[in-house]
Structure 1
Amino acid sequence: MRIVIAKCSVDYSGRLDAHLPEAKRVLMLKGDGSVLVHSDGGSYKPLNWMSAPCNLQISEPSAEESAEGISQIWTVQAKKTNDCLVIRLSEIYLEHNEELGIDPGLIKDGVESHLQELLAEQVTSVLGASWTLIRREYPTAIGPVDLLVRDQDGKPVAIEVKRRGGIDGVEQLTRYLELLGRDPLLDGLRGIFAAQEISKQARTLAEDRGISCLVLDYDAMRGMDDAEFRLF
């Protein structure tokens, strides 16, 4: 990872043309080759960028550009398209290189994984006395579904557990159900989308696809709050 803080202007050409006038910005060159241009605002989103695969060429400015105060020109050319990002640097305030190593990837939220563990342990108390756990992390070709259980009729039910249930979670469970439904041993399979909070849009999508929604009480499940003794 290479990070440069510099006064620069930026021009992008290709599917669209865009220009950023000269200002102090952060330039980020990632290990995969992508280049991002950030300002001090705008949250995580860069002002402009070039995704990998691309090539970066650093060149000297022309005499005319040098007279305008430009010291370096970065030309970032996409490999598969004609898109091109040209960054003209006039002053560099900081430059730092850091080897980040191999990223382990996203690790499941601690609360989310604990919810899954608690639900597996409390299948009968949360879902019903006749429900049984088949397996946690039941494998599919695209990754494991959180829980596979059997309902009171002995039918298989795939459960995806989230801390906050959004549309992405419903789409994920839909893909699992499609793959698991091909197994004749799981005839009659249905799904439950379980979370501490489920958005209105996610609930609407789930119900439209025949997926049940289950709101989980995390505090009650871990014994810190007994819902039976609440006034409200």
Structure 2
Amino acid sequence: MPVLVSPELDQARSELVKAMEARMMVTIVANCTVTYSGRTGSDMGEGERLVVLKGDGCVLVHRGRDYQPVNWQPSGCVFQTRIENGRLIVKAVRPSPLETLVIEMDRVEFLGAFRLKDEAEFVLHSSEEEMQKAILAEPSLIEQGLRVIDFEKKVAPGFVDVYGIDSQGNTVVIEIKKDPAGAAAVKQLVEYLKYLSPAEGKKLRPIIVAPSLAKGVLPTVERMRIEFKPLTLQKSLETLQRHARSDQKALRGWLGERPEEKS
């Protein structure tokens, strides 16, 4: 596991090539520029950044702030390196869709190559509450035009997770499950419907929201005319994170524009 501190560019390139051929993970701290071309295009001027190249062909470029990379490419990229005009150039090419990320480094402060062993299973610990919050924040996760009226609505058998009106004025009754929805979820939703009524001339739309339906449940769902909308915990968490960032940005803008208070 070679580790270089302030190496010459040719030495850094030599170790980088060896590490990439061995499918190791490489971390580089360097003063660099970054250029992306593909579906859109972007240029980022010189700055000291953390560059991570992984054995599966993905690449991430981080600034010294924020948790998200400012540039990145998913696994499957092909890496090319060269020294040109006093710069170490790393080019990551994604074949499909065709995208290119070019990192030009004029100074490398650190380069480390590591062979990480990690075979642990990733288990996401969360709950149906996150899925509910995501739907409340972004009802279009279920469908366009959905308007949430209530949540945890009390009915005799229990509580309706999300209660709303669709674009046609129909009443939408949503039951959320974080795991594949089984017969119990169908039975629970059917019981709720006995205590709910749509507006005159409209209908009740029972919907199960879950990552998937359990084996053998689909015929029952179709027979009971219950709709199924797929939604995973991961997508729910991503939705909540996106809204949190948007809220923080709005708050920073509001604080920055507030007039100074007079004493």
What is the TM-score with the length of structure 2 in the denominator? 0.44
What is the TM-score with the length of structure 1 in the denominator? 0.49
